[in-house]
């Protein structure tokens, strides 16, 4: 285990409007505000989203299993923001519900707000963690 100690910095409260890109909006805020490390909590609605719900098998490199939302869902979740080179990268896991159906996974693409979504970003000061490509897994992982 490797870790660093940081402290909370600025707190950003954002309202995403209908059809706005959820992950893209968080990335834009992180870039605009130069948030180098942070975490984000969201609550609201999404109409689209591509989520990974685990690997096919427990092997390296992992082959992701993809699911799509494809219609409006309630959503809540938590993610981290750390930079890879010159870009902020968001790693977000959420729970997505519609009627009797609940999905949980890592939101990776096609994230689109339904009606409204609230995001709270908390900057973490005093850490220099970043995302780097891990050659064994083929994934971009956190380096502390």
In the chain, the number of structural domains is: 1
93 found inside a domain: yes
User: Which CATH number is 76's domain given?
Assistant: 3.30.1330.80
3 found inside a domain: no
1 found inside a domain: no
2 found inside a domain: no
138 found inside a domain: yes
Tell me the average pLDDT across 104-121.
Answer: 97
19 found inside a domain: yes
Range of the domain at 47: 8-143
| Mean pLDDT for the chain overall | 96
pLDDT confidence band for 137 (50 / 70 / 90): confident
pLDDT confidence band for 138 (50 / 70 / 90): confident
* pLDDT value at 53 more than 90: yes
3-state SS of the chain is: CCCCCCEEEEEEEEEEECCCEHHHHHHHHHHHCCCCEEEEEEEEEEEEEEEEEEECCCCCCCCEEEEECCCCEEEEEEEEEEEECCEEEEEEEEEEEECCEEEEEEEEEEEEEEEEEEEEEEEEECCCCEEEEECCCCEEEEEC
Report yes or no on whether pTM surpasses 0.85: yes
């Amino acid at each position: 285990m490797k870790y660093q100690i940081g402290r909370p910095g600025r707190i950003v409260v954002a309202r995403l409007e209908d059809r706005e890109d959820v992950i893209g909006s968080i990335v834009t805020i992180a870039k605009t505000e130069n948030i180098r490390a942070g975490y984000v909590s969201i609550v609201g609605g999404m109409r689209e989203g591509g989520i990974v719900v685990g690997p096919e098998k427990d092997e390296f490199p992992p082959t992701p299993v993809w699911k799509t939302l494809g219609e409006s869902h309630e959503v809540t979740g938590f993610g981290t923001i750390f930079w890879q080179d010159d870009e902020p990268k968001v790693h977000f896991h959420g729970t997505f519900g519609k009627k009797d159906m609940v999905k949980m996974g890592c939101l990776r693409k096609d994230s689109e707000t339904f009606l409204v979504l609230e995001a709270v970003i908390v900057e973490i000061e005093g850490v220099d963690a970043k995302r780097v490509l891990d050659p064994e897994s083929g994934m971009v992982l956190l380096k502390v």
